[in-house]
Structure 1
Amino acid sequence: MRIALVTESGYPYVGGDAGPWCERLVRGLGQHEFDVHALSRGREQEAGGLLPLPPQVVRVRTAPLWTALDDGVVHGRRARRRFADCYAELAAVLAATGTADPGGAAGHGGSDHLADRFGSAVLGLAELARDEGGAAAALRSETALRALEGACRAPGAQHAARAARVPDLLAVAAHLECALRPLSLDWYAGDGLAGADVCHAAAGGPAALAGLLAHHFSGVPLLVTEYGVPLRAHHLARHADGTAPAVRALLAAFHGRLAAEVYRRAALVTHGNVHARRWQERCGAERDRLRTVHPGMDAAPFAEVGEAPEGADPRTLVWAAGDIDPAKDLVSLLHAFAEVRAAEPGARLRIVGAAAGPGGEAYLGHCRALAAQLFPDEADGPHAVGDNPVSFEEFGGPQTPSPAQVYASGAVAVLSSVVEGFPVGLVEAMFCGRATVSTDVGAVVEAVGGTGLVVPPRNPRALADACVTLLRDPERRARLGAAARARALELFTVEQNIEAFHGIYLEIVSHSPARHVALDDTGAPRPFAAPAESRVPGPWTGTAVPAARRAPEWAAAAAAPGAGARSGPVPGAGPVPAPARAR
């Protein structure tokens, strides 16, 4: 099977955000071939080079998202008119979409007229780019800006769009040009994405757009994986950087509509946790197309600690939940530890992590000052320990060579976040057989299950009570730690992740019509080149049979080969994309 893996700012670049899980997936599926199509996000990333690639990666194609494409294409009069019509339609949909519900009716699994218009506009631009050899210059043209302005000034436009000023329109047009760059790529011909059995988009946004175009042009079934939901990240980033309300509204409409269109066309959509699934459903993904595939983590570095958990200091709490920033809420953790210290004078707290950017540096400095204020040197006090009971450390030091050694030093792992996606640090503690106390945010409850204590966020008293409870009950700590390790090994290992995607690939391909016959080195057809389901009319083939010509069910059953043959969808199978158009 040939899989086209489309990534954005990730694999196979050395510094990719989504690199680790993609690399483990590719290396773990040596029986398949991979074509990697990578979108880069910066000059530094491209300068860093590519990771060493296994032999199953037969080709790598790259394209930048950080610099404007210059395809040298000049549209004629008819093409310019065609572009103006499509772009004006796209802008009209964005200006008419409400900010509170960027997906419109599609956000509830529906297909409203705005969703249909958005899809037609984007695919119309894609067909124009294919026919003309590109549309990069047109997306940066005065025509695009005037179409956007006209849509915002038109009757029926949302209030935020009508308030857009010229700088706002320029910012939106520039963002749309960047997001729509996959339209002008040369990836969709027969030797590119069209030759794959499955197109796997490893992220939403531009990567998923490339997969959407491969499905539209060549009928390649699309699988979309989102371990972080792009629409949520977009909302958080735009609110944090002070973007103008008009820009936020129009871009939220675009990303919401794009997500809904991708979910509508994809064969299957996977997520890493229930928190992400809710966002996907809100943006239009249908439940029967969703699959949960937990992130795969390498359990080997934690095996030694997990198999011998008795070496921990029974008085030490450990926080090692990643980068230090305000979302981790170490302030609440320090106040909670003050109460823990009052109840258990010998308790200690190790905070291990590095500041994330300038904002993280300032926050770390504030936390250090707060710790010094709450816990002055107690060498002369009634419970002298000789130093401050709170330590701030970074990985790589003599006492913190690895996460496994950090968790080995403590009896309880603590997470105090107010915002969290999938809690990687918490799962690492579970691999080490440590009992956990964590706040109820993101996918924490889903990860922990019943193997740890979960408290409300921003509640130092509840956090302190839970920590004291476990510090005073070694038997319960051991029981919860053993259960946590068993849960992590069952759900969150690399092996389960690879096996899940392998099954999904087979499911998609076995339910997709054959588009071409692939031969191996001996000239024999490859497995799944012509799936049996594609030869029997039915919903799984995507072949519509007119009602007037459709035989009664009893006649179809009688004519089908073999006893008990039946027509209808395979139980548990997700919807399947339509067959390829005749070219």
Structure 2
Amino acid sequence: MRIGLVTEGGYPYVSGDAGLWCERLVRGLGQHEFDLYALSRTRQQEDEGWVPLPRQVSRVRTAPLWTAEDDGVRYGRRARRRFTECYGELAAALSGARGAEAGGVGDDTEGEAAGRGGPDHEADRFASALYGLAELARDEGGLVGALHSETAVRALERACRAPGAMREAREARVPDLLTVAAHLEHALRPLALDWYEDDGLGAADLCHTAAGGTAALPGLLARHFCDVPLLVTEYGVPLRAHYLATGADGTAPAVRALLAAFHGRLATEVYRQAAVITHGNAHTRRWQERCGADRTRLRTVHPGMDAAAFAEVGEEPEAVDADTLVWVGRVDPAKDLVSLLHAFAEVRRAEPKARLRVVGGASGPDAVAYLGHCKALAAQLFPDEAEGPHTVGDNPVSFEEIGGPEAPTLADAYASGAVTVLSSVVEGFPVGLVEAMFCGCATVSTDVGAVVEVIGGTGLVVPPRNPRALAEACVALLRDPERRARLGAAARARALELFTVEQNIAAFHGIYLEIVSRCPVRRVVLNDSGEPLPFATPAEAHVPGHWTGPVAPATPTAPAAPTAPAASRPGPAWANAASVRPSAPAPTTEAAR
């Protein structure tokens, strides 16, 4: 089948989020054909280019989200009225205002009905406005100028001043309205792309978005315009990330409320339209359910990790030093190494021979400063002793980086201790914990994020920010080698069953088949007399073979430069609309497709 894979700031760019996961997914499903639709976040990301693409990638179409030049489109009177109606209704759905007074659409009776409407009505109103803007962009060829216009700001202001608007919206000042309008213009840029035709996402059997939020907008429009089924994968929660970002940067209450309404409504619409929604852990699933996702459409697909790098250590999990605790990861305040150092002070009192190895680097000024603070604390807690189990100047806490003499690889770092410790206060999916499980390590972790779900009873879990509980759990394992071996073996078996690349790919392959079997795309092909031809475009037509009919041999095409894609059809001025780039000789021709 043909999969339209939509990414934001990730694959196929060299740098970006979720790039490795998408790379493994595409390479692992060589029996399918992939069209990539990539939204870039920065110019640097585009300048760095793409990773090498496998032959199952037929083409790549890109568009930058970081810039939006004026597309030069000027609406006539009728188009301006359509924009005012749709944008006004969108603004009313965000502010909670009644539709008639806010957007100038309908009569008083309709406005009062909107004010009395429940969550479903508000969701329908938001969706109608969103698709109305997309249809306007499709008909008129642009949206950037209108979203930047004074008309948009005035429509937003009317919605915030209209009866029924929430208190924060009524208090919005002009600078607040300008900030919200600018954010909406940025978020709605995908509406003006030229990806939603029969030669774009409309030709896919399934659209798979690698994230929710803005990245899912192309999938929504493919569903709306071409009835292509939508699969949404979220390993993080975009709505939660937005709440955390706006809550910590001093955003004005009116701006925070209106943008939270926008992202919340968008998440609801994405979940309503998706055929299947996948998540990596129960924490993400709870957010999806709270935003209105139907439980029957939710699937758990754990992130897939490469176990090969840890295979040798996992098969022989004997620790280098039975008295050593090891922490491995990226140094950051969220990892709470301060609590770990205080816990190790108690471990040291119970087990004088114990040592702690902190293996990991720091990136960024805040992380570097935090690492310096931790080193100073370690020197204060564990002054060099003239007598005792260690020589003078031999501090029981060491700070190292991967690639050093004692930890040349990540697997060696985990193998260098008897117990692996995770002390975080904030954690999503604990990648480091899974790596330790692959290595067959006994673990002590704090109960944050998806830790309990991942560890599943094969390690010890304690409350976060509790050095005493962390110390007691570490001492218990240091004193019981048989228990360590038993937990380590169970952890490795669990990781190999649930968290490998192979299980991730197999799960998505099954989901693809499930969606296409339940929600096939209905493409009507007419014969010479204008009558429909049933089964004219079966899924097998995408796969080269005798069933595709006589096909001219494909001409090998040299890969184009990834940083300078060529446009294949007109589109918004701010978008690199399309780049057709088979990374190897194309297996089919356009006729076969």
Same fold (TM over 0.5): yes
Corresponding letter in the other structure for 1:185: L
State whether structure 2 residue 357 is matched by structure 1 residue 350: yes
Name the counterpart of 2:24: 24
What amino acid is aligned across from residue 299 of structure 2 in structure 1? R
**Matches of 1:113 and 1:495, distance apart in 2:** 42
Aligned-partner residue type, residue 247 of structure 2 = H
User: Out of 301, 306, 313, which is 1:298 matched to?
Assistant: 306
Match of 1:244?
Answer: 252
3-state SS in 1 of match to 2:419:
strand
What's 1:62 paired with?
62
| Alignment counterpart, residue 310 of structure 1, candidates 305, 318, 333 | 318
- The aligned residue for residue 88 of structure 2 is 88
**Residue in 1 aligned with 2:450?**
443
Aligned counterparts of 2:307 and 2:408: Cα–Cα separation in 1: 17
Q: How does 1:215-234 map to 2 (within 5 A)?
A: 215-234=223-242
- In structure 1, the partner of 2:289 is 281
Aligned to 1:188: 196
Q: Name the structure 1 match of 2:343.
A: 336
Question: What is the CA deviation profile of residues 99-155 of structure 1, one whole-angstrom value per residue up to 9, with x for unaligned ones?
Answer: xxxxxxxxxxx9521111111111111111111112111111111111112222222
**Residue 74 of structure 1 aligns with which residue?**
74
Measure, in 2, the Cα distance between the counterparts of 1:401 and 1:92. 58
Q: 1:112 aligns with which of 110, 120, 127?
A: 120
Partner of 2:507: 500
Amino acid at match of 2:390: A
1:157 is aligned, of 162, 165, 169, to 165
Q: 1:362 to 1:161 in 2, by over 3 A?
A: farther
Q: Deviations 1:445-489 (Å, cap 9, x if unpaired)?
A: 010001000011111111110011001100000000000000000
1:514 Cα offset (Å) = 4.0
Report what 2:559 is aligned to: none
Identity of aligned residues (%): 77
How far 1:72 sits from its partner (Å)? 2.2
What letter matches 1:83 in structure 2? F
Q: Which residue of 1 aligns with 2:580?
A: none
Equivalent in 504, 509, 514 of residue 516 of structure 2: 509
Q: Separation in 2 of the partners of 1:347 and 1:328?
A: 21
Distance 2:363 2:437 in 1: 24
- Show the counterpart of 1:572: none
Instruction: Specify the alignment match of 2:562 in structure 1.
Output: none
Corresponding letter in the other structure for 1:315: D
Deviation for aligned residue 1:393: 2.0
Secondary structure at 2:424's aligned position in 1? coil
Quick check: 2:176–2:255 contact (8 Å CA) kept in 1? yes
- Report the Cα distance in structure 1 between the residues aligned to 2:334 and 2:157, rounded to whole angstroms: 37
CA contact (8 A) 1:4 1:36 kept: yes
Q: 1:77-104 deviations in whole A, cap 9, x for unaligned?
A: 111111111111111111129xxxxxxx
Counterparts in 2 of 1:138-537, with a 5 A limit?
138-321=146-329, 323-378=330-385, 380-385=386-391, 386-516=393-523, 517-518=537-538, 519=541, 520-522=543-545, 524=547
The one-letter code sitting in structure 1 at the alignment partner of 2:180 is V
In structure 1, the partner of 2:105 is: none
Cα deviation for residue 377 of structure 1 reads 1.9
Larger RCO, structures 1/2 (Cα 8 Å, 6+ apart): 2
Q: 1:540 maps to which residue?
A: none
In 1, the alpha carbon distance for the partners of 2:275 and 2:91 equals 28
Seen in structure 2, the aligned counterparts of structure 1 residues 440 and 299 have a Cα distance that, compared at 3 Å, is same
Residue aligned with 2:322, SS:
strand
C-alpha spacing 1:148/1:434, structure 2 compared with 1 (3 Å):
same
Helix, strand or coil at the partner of 1:454: strand
Shift of 1:523: 6.3
The 3-state SS of whatever aligns with 2:487 is helix
SS at match of 2:309: helix
Distance across 1 between alignment mates of 2:545 and 2:484: 59
Q: Which moved more, 1:394-403 or 1:265-274?
A: 394-403
* Runs of 5+ unmatched residues, structure 1: 98-109, 527-583
2:229 touches 2:520 (CA, 8 Å); kept in 1? no
Distance 2:521 2:154 in 1: 44
Deviates more, 1:147-156 or 1:187-196: 147-156
Q: State the partner residue of 2:131.
A: 123
Cα pair distance change 1:148/1:358, threshold 3 Å: farther
Alignment of 1:564-575 (within 5 A): none
Structure 1 residues 368 and 113, CA gap change in structure 2 (3 angstroms): same
Note the C-alpha offset of 1:69: 4.1
Tell me what 1:558 maps to: none
CA 1:468–1:522 in structure 2 vs 1: closer, same or farther (change >3 Å)?
Answer: closer
**Residues 331, 360 of structure 2: 8 Å contact kept:** yes
Q: Provide closer, same or farther for how the CA distance between residues 521 and 466 of structure 1 changes in structure 2, counting only shifts above 3 A.
A: closer
Closer/same/farther in 2, CA of residues 356 and 118 from structure 1, 3 Å limit: farther
Q: Distance in 2 between matches of 1:78 and 1:300?
A: 61
* C-alpha contact 2:306 2:501 (8 A) present in aligned 1: yes
2:528 corresponds in structure 1 to none
Matching residue's letter, 1:94: L
Q: How high is the TM-score relative to the length of structure 2?
A: 0.84
Cα distance in 1 for residues equivalent to 2:209 and 2:217: 9
SS of 2:27's partner is helix
CA shift digits 1:332-390 (9 cap, x unpaired): 11111111111111111111222242222222222222111111223x14333442111
- Tell whether the 8 Å contact from 1:69 to 1:181 is kept in structure 2 after alignment: no
SS of 2:51's equivalent?
coil
Distance 1:522 1:478, change over 3 A: closer
Q: Distance in 2 between matches of 1:356 and 1:458?
A: 23
